[in-house]
Amino acid sequence: MVSHDIPSDIVIFGALGDLAQRKLIPSLYHLENAGLLCKESRIIGVARTDMDTAGFREQCKSSLATFVKAEELDPTNQDIFLDKLVYSQVDFGTTEQYQGLKSTLDEQLERTRIFYFATAASLYGIICKNLTETGCIEESSRVVLEKPIGHDHDSSNQINDEVAKYFEESQIYRIDHYLGKETVQNLIALRFANPIFGAQWNQNQISHVEITVAEKVGIEGRWGYFDKAGQMRDMVQNHLLQLLCLTAMDPPGDLTADMIRDEKVKVLKLMKPITGSMHNDHVVRGRYTKGMIDGKQVPGYMEEEGANPTSNTETFVSLKVEIKSWRWAGVPFYLRTGKRLPEKVSQITIHFKKQAHYIFDESQRHLAHNKLIIRLQPEEGISLQILNKDQGLGQGMRLRAGPLKLNFSETFEKARIPDAYERLLLEVIQGNQYLFVRRDEIEYAWKWCDQLLEHWDKENTPPLPYAAGSWGPKASDLMVMKDGRSWHEDQ
């Protein structure tokens, strides 16, 4: 069944919060605008603020005006969408307050109930309990959990245990919004639909892999959240490890959720822990100091509003990850992510091995390897760096590296690239779990990160400084230089 035939009640817990207003409501509008929401579906906003449905519709209308491009805001579809919105005031911790929500849900019985928890993970357990006690959950219901689920393996287990008392794993959709990005999914198509790449995807042909997720923004007034998390928990434990898994996994038997997730789990299990002396050359932890972004002076992390002078939190991590498998023996995965870097860019670069039998001018030997660059954002696309003969007379056989390029927006002109949340919401409505994270993935990811986090806690040393607007501490460059490599420069 396609999504516009599936009537659902999408209940957003935390409907007045930043995530709901900035991402979820606009994404649901885009689904409506694309004809992908069923006529009968409703979006039920739940929060503790005293408000009625008319007020909620006003609030959402104003968020659409802010977060949807004017040319994408169709007045007719916007009205149809706003008519689907209903508000229910509930204090999540108070069972009796769920009665209103229950009555709203019971007005329409023949539909899938989707409970989206866009609120703190510490509330997930109590919301599930109250939904159950008031009879809101049905066998066909689904629950969507936002990240972060816990701050380490044990706390994440606790939250997952709470939710598991009320929902089966097949009903649980754990969000990692990177899995909803167009190019991330294209990685699956690229690897498994093109034999030309599939056959090369191993230690025989690949020398190393680089995953960079760089942000220009700082912590955007989120000191309270970010200082407890740091870049390792905020970005590595989830987004970067997911990208690593999709890049490194073996071909799944088919495209079903569990086949894909089984392969991702295998990668997580095979990641070598970073222990002992490996801490010296496999990991760099940094924190931005003041610097320049887009020609403007920005404060350092410790000068941000609300800063705690004793903080040891990192805003940058780079890692050299080894995977203990035949496919990846001797092929390091270099991961790098940070705030206040010079550009917003997320990309995976596959560095192929150099030509073994080399017949060209020695001075050009450094050019002699192919790179496949998979750009997730901005300007989603794929390019393969190949070597050509430089054009013209009198040059001799000079080589020149140039890209074979596929830019999604230029090649597939008409297609609008949807926001990750649009795709993920659509998949929940359709009941497809393949873009969501299974419980064991989270557990293995946390286990791998915990060993590093515990080491940092024990050491209690401040992260290395880097100026805002630079590519992180010098030690990050040195880490790859020691292996005779450098980070891919054409960011």
Ligand X SMILES: O=C1O[C@H](COP(=O)(O)O)[C@@H](O)[C@H](O)[C@H]1O
Ligand Y SMILES: NC(=O)C1=CN([C@@H]2O[C@H](COP(=O)(O)OP(=O)(O)OC[C@H]3O[C@@H](n4cnc5c(N)ncnc54)[C@H](OP(=O)(O)O)[C@@H]3O)[C@@H](O)[C@H]2O)C=CC1
Active site residues: 239
Total residues contacting ligand Y by CB under 6 A comes to 21
Residue 119 binds ligand Y, judged by CB under 6 A = yes
Q: Which does 234 bind (CB under 5 to 8 A by kind): ligand Y, ligand X, none?
A: ligand X
92 annotated among ligand-binding-site residues:
yes
Question: How far is residue 105's CA from residue 94's CA, in Å, rounded to a whole number?
Answer: 18
Cβ atoms within 10 Å of 135's Cβ, excluding its own: 11
Looking at residues 145 to 204 of the shown chain, list those that interact with ligand Y (rule: CB under 6 A).
146-148
Q: Which of 65, 120, 193, 217 binds ligand Y (CB under 6 A)?
A: 120
Residue pair 18/122 in contact by the 8 Å Cβ criterion: no
Task: Pick the stretch among 73-81, 90-98, 164-172, 318-326 that binds ligand Y (CB under 6 A).
Answer: 90-98
- Regarding 47 and contact with ligand Y (CB under 6 A), the answer is yes
Of the candidates 3, 9, 11, 14, which one interacts with ligand Y according to CB under 6 A? 14
If the CB atoms of residues 93 and 378 are measured against ligand Y, the closer one turns out to be 93
Angle (nearest 5°) at CA 310 between 469 and 342: 5
The reply, when asked if residue 48 is annotated as ligand binding, is: yes
Q: Is 147 annotated as a binding residue?
A: yes
Q: Is 153 annotated as a binding residue?
A: no
Which of 68, 114, 118, 284 touches ligand Y (CB under 6 A)? 118
Tell whether residue 422 is a contact of ligand X (CB under 6 A). Answer: no
Closest distance of CB 214 from ligand X, Å: 9
In the complex, what is the shortest distance from the CB of residue 166 to ligand X, in angstroms, rounded to a whole number? Answer: 26
Given candidates 9, 227, 234, 427, which one binds ligand X under the rule CB under 6 A?
234
456 interface partner picked from ligand Y, ligand X, none, CB below 5 to 8 A per type: none
Determine, following the binding rule CB under 6 A, whether residue 215 of this chain makes contact with ligand X: yes
C-beta of 142 vs 181, nearer to ligand X: 181
Q: What are phi and psi of 286, to 5 degrees?
A: -130, 170
Q: How far is the CB of 119 from ligand Y (least distance, A)?
A: 4
Instruction: Reply yes or no: is the peptide bond before residue 252 cis, omega within 30 of 0.
Output: no
The burial of 105, by beta-carbon neighbours within 10 Å (0-12 exposed, 13-18 middle, 19 or more buried), is given as: buried
- The alpha carbon torsion through 411, 413, 416, 418 (nearest 10 deg) reads -10
351 alpha carbon, distance to own chain's centre: 23
- For helices 241-248 and 439-459, the axis angle rounded to 10 degrees is 130
Closer to ligand Y by Cβ: residue 118 or 179: 118
| Closest by Cα among 186, 188, 241, 180 to 211 | 241
Smallest gap, in angstroms, from Cβ of residue 303 to ligand Y?
23
Nearer residue to ligand Y within complex by CB, 118 or 219? 118
**113 pairs with which residues across the strands?**
9
What angle, 0 to 180 degrees and rounded to 10, lies between the N-to-C axes of helices 182-193 and 241-248?
20
Per CB under 6 A, the segment of 119-127, 268-276, 340-348, 462-470 that binds ligand Y is: 119-127
How far is the C-alpha of 343 from the C-alpha of 184, rounded, in Å?
19
Q: How far is the CB of 372 from ligand X (least distance, A)?
A: 21
Identify each DSSP E strand in 357-431 by its residue range: 371-377, 381-389, 399-407
Binding residue count for ligand X, defined by CB under 6 A:
4
Q: How far is the CB of 75 from ligand Y (least distance, A)?
A: 27
To the question of whether residue 264 is assigned a binding role by annotation, the answer is no
Q: Which is nearer to ligand X, 101 or 319 (CB)?
A: 319
d(CA 440, CA 456): 24
Contact 462, 169 (CB under 8 A): no
Does 93 interact with ligand Y (rule: CB under 6 A)? yes
What residues are paired with 349 via a beta bridge? 210, 373
Candidates 14, 369, 10; CA nearest to 200 is 369
- Which of ligand Y, ligand X, none is residue 120 near (CB under 5 to 8 Å by kind)? ligand Y
Establish how many alpha carbons lie within 13 A of residue 51's alpha carbon, considering only the half-sphere containing its beta carbon.
22
Q: How far is the CB of 267 from ligand Y (least distance, A)?
A: 24
Q: Rounded to the nearest 5°, which phi and psi values hold at 330?
A: 75, 10
Which parts of this chain interact with ligand Y (CB under 6 A)? 14-20, 47-49, 90-93, 118-121, 146-148
Interacting residues toward ligand X by CB under 6 A: 177, 215, 234, 346
Annotated binding site: 48, 91-92, 147, 177, 181, 215, 234, 339, 344
Binding site for substrate, by residue number, is 177, 181, 215, 234, 339, 344
